[in-house]
Amino acid sequence: MDITIKAAAAFYTTDGIVADTPKKSKLAEYSEQIGKNTYKLSITSDYKPAGVAVKIPVDFGVNDTVFMNGYQSATDSREMSVTGKMNGVQTVSEFVKNKCAAISGGDYAFVPYKNKAGVTHGFSYCYFKHAGKIRLFASLDESVGYTIFKFDAWTTTLRVSRDIEGIEKFDNFPAISLFYAEGKEEEVFERWFEALNNQGQAPAEKLVGYSTAELDELSEDEIYERLGDMKKFPVKPNLFLMDERYCTVGDWLEPDADRFPEGLKDIVNEIHDCSLVAGVTLSPFAVDERSSIAEEHCDWILRSPDGRYVKTKNNLFVLDFCNPEVREYIRECLHTILYMWGFDLVKLDNLYAASMFPSAGLCFFS
């Protein structure tokens, strides 16, 4: 598959692969074959890059399937027929949406679902499967914005774009950073991971341990008891992970005084004395409506375009990450937890909350 891009007045093309871009834009392209049936493609732009998209023709058979990676774990993500349909929540009543936070889980609040057979979309990667082999299209860089894939079976076109409207710096901006490989599923994904690792993203150390999420109630006494139980594990653990119930969600610097009368620092020391990594779970962009943060800083809570407070699928309020006071509060929490209390690891949960609705002129879907 030749993916070298040749320049033209307002678009770039080779073998049917086309990059749409505003006419004023100057693009720089780089492509290389990095292995058998494996390629890298990058496009940088010196102009507002929201209009840059790569269009790739995709041929398929009637029995082929497509997988579009969901926006997050609550999005419908499954292999389906290439002419299958992704359903949004347009038919769900407003009452149910508001009562059950139905649109909070996934991308349903900001993606215009077509509800049309053969039209699918996803984020970060997708693949097409034929006779046990796949063709993988995947992002090599999500640091500046989501890579969005839109597939239309009727035009046999895969459109790849970047969700970066609202970003103001455009000097050699990485508009597209794309990986392509074909072959058996396991080996294709290994090639993608190797390509990511070669960019400095080294594999993380594997951790085996215990999470307090299974406990009916989280308390100081329960933690000390579980630390004793871990000595009996058949596999030597190296991690003890506390869940976020040590406080009201959002009040990360205020451990429950009844259940943790001595705070968390002594608990962390005890975890370290057991030669374990001390971890804790946080949802940095979410707050419980009963929290001190929600009561004292209602201006920190994100509102939808119609003025309602935004909630997660767990019925938690969402913090407006574009508010500098919110960012400073999160920074203070992480500093205290890691450097004052001594935790080694923070597991971040419900991160999708930061990207549920546009804020400060930013968008999600181009």
- Is the model's pLDDT at 52 over the cut of 70? no
Q: Average of pLDDT values for 309-333?
A: 91
Q: What is the pLDDT of residue 18?
A: 44
Of 119 and 313, the structure prediction assigns the larger pLDDT to 119
Could you identify the residue written with the tokens 């299974």? 214
Widest pairwise Cα distance in the chain:
69
DSSP 45-70: ESS-GGG-EEEEE----TT-EEEE--
**Most confident option among 109-118, 133-142, 308-317, 354-363:** 133-142
11: pLDDT strictly greater than 50: no
Q: What is the pairing mode between strands 133-139 and 125-130? A: antiparallel
Backbone angles phi, psi at 226, to 5 degrees: -70, -35
192-232: pLDDT as tens digits: 998 887 665 566 778 888 999 888 889 999 999 999 888 88
Q: Tell the CATH topology of 209-355.
A: TIM Barrel (3.20.20)
Residue 4, token pair as written in the block: 């070298």
Q: Looking at the predicted structure, is the pLDDT value of residue 91 above 80?
A: no
Alpha-carbon gap, residue 73 to 123, rounded angstroms: 12
Quick one: CA torsion of 317, 320, 323, 324, rounded to 10 degrees?
80
Residue 72 has what pLDDT?
75
CATH code for the structural domain at 6-197? 2.60.40
Higher local confidence (pLDDT), 15 or 317: 317
Q: Please, how many CA atoms are within 13 Å of residue 280, restricted to the half-sphere of its CB?
A: 27
Pairing type for strands 38-45 and 27-35 reads antiparallel
Distance CA 15, CA 18 (A): 9
Q: Which residue has the higher pLDDT, 160 or 96?
A: 160
CB atoms within 10 A of CB 142: 14
Note whether 149 and 10 are within 8 A (CB): no
The whole-number pLDDT of residue 109 equals 67
Number of residues in the chain = 366
The confidence score (pLDDT) of residue 311 equals 85
Q: What value does the mean pLDDT of the chain take? A: 81
What is the rounded CA–CA span in Å between residue 26 and residue 200?
Answer: 28
Number of H helices, E strands in the chain: 6, 20
| pLDDT of 265 | 97
What SS3 state is found at 302?
Answer: coil
Reduced to 3 states, what is the DSSP secondary structure of residue 321?
Answer: coil
In the prediction, which pLDDT does 283 show?
94
Show me where the domains of the chain are located: 6-197, 209-355
Q: How high is the pLDDT of residue 94? A: 65
Please give the pLDDT value at position 17: 42
